[in-house]
Copies of this chain bind each other. A is one copy, B any other.
Amino acid sequence: MQKQIKLINRPKATPAYKDFEFVKAPVGTPSEGEVLIRTVYISVDPYLRGRMNEGKSYISPFQLNEVISSGVIGQVVESKSGQFSEGDVVLGSLGWQEYSVAGEKEIRKIDHSIAPASAYLSVLGMTGLTAYFGLLDIGKPKEGETVVVSGAAGAVGSVVGQIAKIKGARVVGIAGSDEKTSYLKDELNFDATINYKTQNVAEALKEACPDGIDVYFENVGGEISDAIFPLLNNFARIPVCGAISSYNNQGEDVGPRVQGHLIKTSSLMQGFTVGNYSSRFSEGATELAGWLSEGKIKYEETVTEGFDHTIDAFLDLFKGANLGKALVKVGEIENN
């Protein structure tokens, strides 16, 4: 038998333990063309909150009383596929459970000699690619421009800021603790940082962006975002990646309308999801791996140990507890 985590209630506001249930189920058996995978790392991500609601979004909602799924790194323990061998380390969108059965097309092998396996859930995976395509395809930072990123110490934001630095921009990061802002300045060489919990964001932004804002990479929405618009330069670009501040809102998420600012400055806001760029993933992953190996990009992980703490790790996202990518470590990678 193994443990699984199911969604049993659609969260009304902030998700809570009562919305989830740990259950026991048999370990599956692979059929022809399938493999049995032992879970090693589970990715917990803010966007999963959206899938817990009913209704249309860019990705289908989770069904009630089904196992939740997200990015998972695992190790093949039994293979009925010619493409995978026992011991292979693989990546896929798999269930929050200790073992998964997956078809050949649902997973891909990863080379954990280039980077630790967990990096394929972060800087070399979805969050790194999200940063890469959102910033470069929509934000298009130019040398000397000012790029502001919110959620700057998160898995996406920290990579956004570093790519912007590679492109020669001046980078301002907004995050929620002095530990995070110190990390951004000292480790990632951001030009300026703002702690939105202790500083007046509008005032601090004016000071940190004396030449206005050319690119705002939106991860959080809400009042932090509101403070950006009055400082936009002409032809500013806003990749809209996330709005974590509103994900748990019960009422309507209300704030100053943005149309006037967009007209005055001929600025662009574009929502996106990394899936829009799936045909270019290998381009992005190759460039990110290059920067990583050259030491131009660093990344952090906040690793929660043990499958039993998966829900804690997910709920911590909404407390801003994580630095870099939030992961659950369920087991070890074993050498054959």
Q: Which residues of A approach B to under 8 Å, CB–CB?
A: 50, 56-58, 218, 221-222, 225, 234, 240-243, 246, 252-273, 276
Contact present for A268 and B270 (CB under 8 Å): yes
Contact present for A254 and B256 (CB under 8 Å): yes
In the complex, the count of this chain's copies comes to 2
Contact present for A57 and B273 (CB under 8 Å): no
Measured between beta carbons, the chain B residues less than 8 angstroms from A268 are 268-271
Measured between beta carbons, the chain B residues less than 8 angstroms from A263 are 58, 240-243, 271-273
Contact present for B260 and A253 (CB under 8 Å): yes
Known A-B contacts: A243-B259, A252-B256, A266-B271. Give 6 more (CB < 8 A).
Answer: A225-B259, A243-B260, A253-B257, A254-B257, A255-B255, A268-B270
- Kindly list the 6 A-B residue pairs having the minimum CB-CB distance in the complex, ordered from nearest: A262-B271, A243-B259, A263-B271, A268-B270, A221-B259, A269-B269
A267 and B271 contact, Cβ closer than 8 Å, known pairs A58-B234, A234-B58, A262-B240: yes
Q: List 22 A-B contacts (CB under 8 A).
A: A56-B264, A57-B264, A58-B263, A218-B259, A221-B257, A225-B257, A240-B263, A243-B260, A246-B260, A253-B257, A253-B260, A254-B254, A254-B257, A255-B257, A261-B271, A262-B271, A264-B271, A266-B273, A266-B276, A268-B268, A268-B271, A269-B270
Measured between beta carbons, the chain B residues less than 8 angstroms from A256 are 252-254
Contact present for A258 and B258 (CB under 8 Å): yes
Cα-based distance from A253 to B258 in the complex (angstroms): 9
Name the CB-closest residue of B to A265.
Answer: B271
Measured between beta carbons, the chain B residues less than 8 angstroms from A265 are 58, 271
Cα-based distance from A12 to B266 in the complex (angstroms): 25
Indicate the member of A50, A218, A234, A262 with the most B CB atoms within 10 Å: A262
Cα-based distance from A267 to B57 in the complex (angstroms): 12
Indicate the member of A253, A256, A260, A266 with the most B CB atoms within 10 Å: A260
In the assembled complex, the CB of A9 is this many whole angstroms from the nearest CB of chain B, namely: 21
Measured between beta carbons, the chain B residues less than 8 angstroms from A243 are 257, 259-260, 263
